Amino acid sequence: MHPFHHAASDPGRPAIIMAGTGETLSYAGLEARSNQVAHLLRQLGLARGDTIAVMMHNHIDFLPICWGAQRAGLIYVAMSTKLTPDEAGYIIADSGAKAVFASAALAGVAAAAAPDLPDAARLVIGGAAPGFTPLGAALAAQPETRIADESTGRDMLYSSGTTGRPKGVRGPLPEGPIDAPDGLTGLVAMLYQFSPGMMYLSPAPLYHAAPLRYCMAAHKFGGTVVVMERFDPETYLTMVEKYRITHSQLVPTMFVRMLKLPDDARAAHDLSSLKVAIHAAAPCPVDVKHAMIAWWGPVIYEYYSATEGAGFTSITPQEWLAKPGSVGKSILGTIRVLGDDDQLLPPGQTGRIYFHGGGTFSYHNDAEKTASVTGEHGATFGDIGHVDDDGYLFLTDRAAFMIISGGVNVYPQEAENALTLHPEVADVAVFGIPDAEMGEAVHAVVQPRDMASAGPELEAELLVFIRGRLSHVKCPKRIDFMAELPRHDTGKLYKRLLKDQYWAKV
């Protein structure tokens, strides 16, 4: 259950393939590179429990850096590539990072974010940058053998900050050998058939929790990870066919973009190798998932969890077809649904979702934030929903996004799911805006497939479309258009940024 075993038994097997260039790193190469990283970190003075930050685009060195930190007993913080210097500086300072690994294109941001680190502790990948040491040169001076004091490290990932400053999600540093089994490896073997010889396609940024953790899990099984530099719907289908991909993980916006490809483009690719396509991170409209299962077959699995790892639900494609819209039954923690009075609600009633008795976590340097989402009923990810009589969880929306219009609770996810189905809609956000009479009014911002079509005629067409599918109280009163919505690469929408523009006018 560690890459060093596969480097010994099958050294030539590809561990990482970059989809765009075909650049390949074997298991022997991964072993050598991660050992060099571990030696470099020791040379820089980092010891067990210290922290590094990784601010990189998808690159062949990304995972070896994380494996080097893992075997050196360090905490590795993978950071978004979209951060401003202020945002990046907050995470670097908050995490206590003693070294930063940055892509050359992000070196300016990283330098501004970590002005007090010495040049030797600022490593640049993919080019040169003032104030940084090239990673290739730094590693070339290091041995490829294992360090003498290996111990198990782990990630500390920051929440995406869709409703405020991100917080580092911290769990205990693992004890025991670096190849000790962990909960995730057992989970993916049981639920998703991870096994030796698997071919795993990762289309999302590696700095996000699920892509990083699942790619590293695939390495524990000796699988080959094909990393896309960036997602493109037709390129994704090409990679599945080219490498005979068996496993992948996606987000619903990727499904939507692939479904909107021309029929001949969709039909041109052999996807028969796919055994498991996992999705999570954001709600998937029921009609979109029905369409994907009709196209790919019963290979689409879903889970509901979060970086915090306090709970986990899972649902197979067969279960989902029987319970459309569900995110499954809990396999980590007992689901509790609480009303506004903090009392437990029975099956079928909607309230805040908590997981009791699941995984433990804390927000780094923020006991108040930790206390706000944990308590006697367990921990919450901030979502609203209900459990049916069979124990299946159905999510309604995030509590922070609920709209109260004329005293009526409106969950915008329903309207977003409906508008997504219109052929002229590339993306959509629905939220509440100030209204003198109703308190809040339901409002939509749409990213059209062609911005030239934006205007009163398309707005009228979309309003008629959604009013034919939902009660009028759930429908937007008005629709604005935007060339691109502020969406995280993992599929999460930065709705707060849109709402703030409207509430700032009050």
Question: CA separation (Å) from 80 to 75, 226, 490?
Answer: 16, 20, 10
Does the residue 243 lie in any domain? no
Among 129, 158, 180, residue at a domain's last position: 180
∠393-295-187 over CA atoms, to 5°?
Answer: 45
354 and 480 part of one domain: no
Domain count within the chain: 3
User: pTM of this prediction?
Assistant: 0.83
| Rounded Cα–Cα distance for residues 475 and 38 (Å) | 55
> If we measure between CA atoms, which residue out of 2, 29, 1 comes closest to residue 13?
29
The confidence score (pLDDT) of residue 163 equals: 46
346 and 470 part of one domain: no
| Rounded Cα–Cα distance for residues 60 and 217 (Å) | 17
Q: Assign residue 466 the CATH number of its domain.
A: 3.30.300.30
346 and 469 part of one domain: no
Does the residue 297 lie in any domain? no
CB 73 within 8 Å of CB 152: yes
69 and 89 part of one domain: yes
Amino acid at 499: K
Does the residue 136 lie in any domain? yes
> If we measure between CA atoms, which residue out of 99, 108, 113, 19 comes closest to residue 58?
19
User: Which residues have a Cβ under 8 Å from the Cβ of 30 and sit 6 or more positions away?
Assistant: 3, 7, 15, 16, 63, 64, 67, 219
The confidence score (pLDDT) of residue 349 equals: 94
∠40-41-42 over CA atoms, to 5°?
Answer: 90
Q: Assign residue 357 the CATH number of its domain.
A: 2.30.38.10
Does the residue 58 lie in any domain? yes
Does the residue 225 lie in any domain? no
> If we measure between CA atoms, which residue out of 382, 478, 492, 504 comes closest to residue 427?
492
| Rounded Cα–Cα distance for residues 15 and 103 (Å) | 21
359 and 410 part of one domain: no
332 and 413 part of one domain: no
Among 399, 426, 461, residue at a domain's last position: 399
| Rounded Cα–Cα distance for residues 310 and 203 (Å) | 26
Does the residue 470 lie in any domain? yes
The distance of Cα 501 from the centroid of its chain, to the nearest Å, equals: 26
| Rounded Cα–Cα distance for residues 38 and 68 (Å) | 5
| Rounded Cα–Cα distance for residues 70 and 34 (Å) | 9
> In 10 A of CB 172, how many CB atoms?
9
CB 498 within 8 Å of CB 505: no
Residue pointed to by tokens 């991660």: 34
The confidence score (pLDDT) of residue 164 equals: 56
∠214-217-219 over CA atoms, to 5°?
Answer: 115
328 and 453 part of one domain: no
> In 10 A of CB 325, how many CB atoms?
14
User: How many residues are given for the chain?
Assistant: 506
21 and 39 part of one domain: yes
Among 365, 382, 399, residue at a domain's last position: 399
474 and 487 part of one domain: yes
The confidence score (pLDDT) of residue 399 equals: 66
How many H-runs (helices) and E-runs (strands) does the chain carry? Answer: 17, 29
Q: Tell me the residue range of the domain where 495 lies.
A: 402-503
Q: Encode the chain (506 residues) as per-residue pLDDT tens digits.
A: 899 999 999 999 999 999 999 999 999 999 999 999 999 999 999 999 999 999 999 999 999 999 999 999 999 999 989 888 988 999 999 999 999 999 999 999 999 999 999 999 999 999 999 999 999 999 999 999 999 999 999 999 987 544 457 788 888 899 999 999 888 899 999 999 999 999 999 999 999 889 999 999 999 999 999 999 999 999 999 999 999 999 999 988 899 889 989 999 999 999 999 999 999 867 788 999 999 999 999 999 999 987 777 889 999 999 999 999 999 999 989 999 999 888 999 999 999 899 998 877 777 887 877 777 778 888 888 888 999 999 999 988 766 677 878 667 787 888 998 999 999 999 999 999 988 777 789 999 999 999 999 999 999 999 999 999 888 888 999 999 999 998 766 666 778 788 888 877 65
How many Cα atoms are found within 13 Å in the side-chain-facing hemisphere of 354?
19
Q: What are φ and ψ of residue 223, in 5° steps?
A: -85, 165
> In 10 A of CB 114, how many CB atoms?
24
72 and 87 part of one domain: yes
378 and 426 part of one domain: no
57 and 161 part of one domain: yes
Does the residue 499 lie in any domain? yes
Q: Assign residue 59 the CATH number of its domain.
A: 3.40.50.980
Buried b (16+ CB within 10 A) or exposed e, 267-288: eebebeebbbbbbbbebbbeeb
Does the residue 475 lie in any domain? yes
| Rounded Cα–Cα distance for residues 71 and 74 (Å) | 8
